Amino acid sequence: MHPILSTVLQRLALGVLTLFFVSVIIFSSIEFLPGDFTQAVLGQTATEETVAAFRREIGLDQPAYLRYFDWIGSLAQGDLGTSFSGRAASGVDRSRPVVDLVAPRLANTLFLASMTAIIAVPLALTLGITAALYRGSVYDRVVNALTLTTISMPEFLVAYILILLFASLNPWFPSLANVTTDTPFWERVHKCTLPSLTLTMVIVAHMMRMTRAAIINLLASPYIEMARLKGLSPARVILKHALPNAWAPIANVIAFNLAYLVVGVVVVEVVFVYPGIGQLMVDAVTTRDIPVVQACALIFASTYILLNLTADIISIVTNPRLLHPR
Amino acid sequence: MSDSPQTYSAKDEVGQVRARRTRWQRAKIELKKAPLTAWFGMIVISIYVFIAVFAPLLAPFGEAEVTPVPYAPWSSEHVFGTDQIGRDILSRLIYGARNTMGIAFLTTCLAFIVGGGLALTAAITRGFVDQIISRAVDVLMAIPPLIFALMLLSIFGSSIPSLIIIIALLDSTRVFRLTRAVAMNVVVMEYVEAAKLRGEKLGWVMRREILPNILPPLVAEFGLRFSFVFLTIAALSFLGVGIQPPTADWGSMVRDNASLIQFAQYDFKAGITPLLPASAIALLTIAVNFVVDWFLMKTSGLRDEF
């Protein structure tokens, strides 16, 4: 088998295995709930029968491994279970399927994340590559100092500074990003400006620094020096010699930071009261609505794993050294 | 043994005691050479620690003391005004230093004890113990920490002990990775082998043979971990699932006073009140990063080209 193919397959298998273990961890979290959680969900006045029925419904009368397969099976069919909220002690059940809660919010989050990525990725790469090429110049120093400062700030500080400047002192953008499904596209973009600007600032800083380090590292390698010494033009050195080897680190940097975006989105959504999946998760954590928390955690974790996996595979596929096996 | 001035005595030369600098003197020399950023960092950290230790003496009001006027503006009585139920913001900022930093410090220590201990055990014993722990850590690290923390908090509830334990466990995986990597280079040394052959116990080999040799990167990591933990706790408290009221904490203070920012047009001072605790968080993180940068440069000779 071609070495690239076998390495990729190996990596994919490892990724699937990781996903499996992560799903087991997320599933088994419910096992650690204290025994009285049914009462907490149903209320103090719940009768024996309601509690028993509820326990039967979430399958607590079955062994854990059976429930896991049940859970993962219905997950594969797009059924994420039923929310804990909306249940009453009297046995009235107004709870909603988790999918109905998650799906519209997931779309919102993806909108915010892609809007951020479209701005942040080209910006960060340009800044990073130019800073690496003009290393030590005033430009490099300024960009570095700025990014170092934004890295050290918690996301909510960046968010509130932006709100203070662009929503409160100069009312150009709304400070609440309360979009609904029928918000027109451009209004949605307008409302999402500040949240996505916050996320952009946070991840551009990381991405730019990592790109810069990767490029500097690359430019220091012997074959680049050789190309320079043989008198090639700088453009040719960059395009023919540096770039083919730069794809792998750059892809890594992008995927790593998009994975970081997954986490950063939680805090930013709460600041701007954006109806995304991060906000949903935080709400579910405060009300201890475990099925919703599990679903959100699974979505976040699998996105994170898949992005890292993609980065790994891209860096394997684009590695020129693997193209010519010895 | 008598020796005349003409003869050379090796014993004498060896016996001559060279006045060695004491630790304190060496530290002083290093400090003199420290760059401005490192000095800035150290001064900021000492001020924070001072405030945290002497919080009850410095704060004009009690931690949860409610005064009659909620949302009072900045005045001589309440320097930064009061919050939504009339607690003095300055006092809560001061107590917040104690709570937020104390909890973050405890968490980091716990993470290092657990992560470092496991890593050294894995590095020394190797074999299947190492395999099992390493793979388990790989899986745990595949879940984003904030998400993992949120999930665990929803199960165990948001109390300070569970917060400390959960974050410490999550961060110990990162500590484990680093410690194992640096310890692997040391465990193959002959003196470790010699100690093992001497029949020293696992704990002794860890403490006396390996730990002193891997200390510098660990100390730097401690600083970085501390600022990560600090930011995570602040984020969780900001989300309302971290440190719970009435305990003063910077993250939840931002959350409680966030609505004030809407009034910045009318009263600028009130508008920036919620930014105060947030800036306190950022300033400490920057300070710790500066010091860690300098320390890394000092101990490893590594240097980012600036």
Give the H/E segment covering residue B175.
Answer: helix B160-187
pLDDT, position A177: 74
Which residue of B lies nearest to A285 if distances are taken between CA atoms? Answer: B154
Nearest CB to B282; choose among A26, A29, A154: A154
pLDDT, position B126: 81
Is A301 in contact with B142 (Cβ distance < 8 A)? yes
Distances (CA, A) of B69 to B65, B66, B78, B81: 12, 8, 10, 9
How far apart are alpha carbons A158 and B286 in whole angstroms?
Answer: 14
pLDDT, position A90: 59
Tally A–B CB contacts below 8 A: 145
Collect all residues with Cβ–Cβ distance below 8 Å to A185 and sequence separation of at least 6.
none
pLDDT, position B46: 93
How far apart are alpha carbons A271 and A195 in whole angstroms?
Answer: 8
Classify residue A178 by its DSSP letter: -
Tokens read off for A260: 């970081």
Q: At B222, which amino acid appears?
A: F
State whether residue A124 is helix, strand or coil: helix
CA B77, B78, B83: angle at the middle one, nearest 5?
150
**Average pLDDT for consecutive 10-residue bins of chain A (326 residues)?**
79 88 83 66 71 72 76 76 67 71 86 89 88 83 82 84 82 77 79 87 86 84 88 84 80 82 85 87 83 87 87 78 64
Give the H/E segment covering residue A216.
Answer: helix A185-219
How far apart are alpha carbons A66 and A20 in whole angstroms?
Answer: 15
CB contacts under 8 A, B 279-298 vs A, are: 279, 281-282, 285-286, 289
Is B144 in contact with A304 (Cβ distance < 8 A)? yes
Q: What was the ipTM of the complex prediction?
A: 0.81
pLDDT, position A37: 65
What residues of B are in contact with residue A27 (Cβ under 8 Å)?
A: none
How far apart are alpha carbons A207 and A255 in whole angstroms?
Answer: 10
- Give me the count of residues in chain A: 326
Residue A177 distance to chain B (closest CA, Å): 15
What residues of A are in contact with residue B140 (Cβ under 8 Å)?
A: 25
Q: What residue ranges of chain B have pLDDT lower than 50?
A: 1, 302-306
Q: At B40, which amino acid appears?
A: F
State whether residue A87 is helix, strand or coil: strand
How far apart are alpha carbons B144 and A299 in whole angstroms?
Answer: 11
Nearest CB to A152; choose among B274, B282, B306: B282
- The candidate with the shortest Cα–Cα distance to B290, out of A209, A148, A207, is A148
pLDDT, position A36: 61
Chain A interface, best mutation among B154, B173, B293, by max A CB count within 10 A: B154
pLDDT, position B6: 65
Tokens read off for B137: 């850590």
Is B238 in contact with A161 (Cβ distance < 8 A)? no
Tokens read off for A278: 């991060």
Q: At B21, which amino acid appears?
A: R
CB-based contact (8 Å) between A282 and chain B?
Answer: yes
Tokens read off for A27: 């599933």
Classify residue A35 by its DSSP letter: T
pLDDT, position B303: 44
How far apart are alpha carbons B148 and B155 in whole angstroms?
Answer: 11
pLDDT, position B305: 39
Confirm if B92 and B106 have CB atoms less than 8 A apart. Answer: no
How far apart are alpha carbons B20 and A62 in whole angstroms?
Answer: 72
Residue matched to tokens 């919620």: B274
- The candidate with the shortest Cα–Cα distance to A113, out of A292, A257, A313, A273, is A257
Which residue of B lies nearest to A132 if distances are taken between CA atoms? Answer: B305
**Alpha-carbon torsion (A117, A211, A299, B253), positive or negative:** negative
Distances (CA, A) of B290 to A12, B41, B77, B303: 39, 6, 35, 13
- The candidate with the shortest Cα–Cα distance to A163, out of B203, B181, B186, B271, is B271
pLDDT, position B290: 84
Collect all residues with Cβ–Cβ distance below 8 Å to A65 and sequence separation of at least 6.
none
Nearest CB to A282; choose among B239, B279, B306: B239
Tokens read off for A205: 């800083």
pLDDT, position B107: 94
Confirm if A164 and A87 have CB atoms less than 8 A apart. Answer: no
Tokens read off for A118: 């479209």
CB-based contact (8 Å) between A168 and chain B?
Answer: yes
Is B258 in contact with A271 (Cβ distance < 8 A)? yes
| pLDDT, tens digit (0-9, with 9 covering 90-100), for B222-244 | 988 998 899 889 888 888 888 88
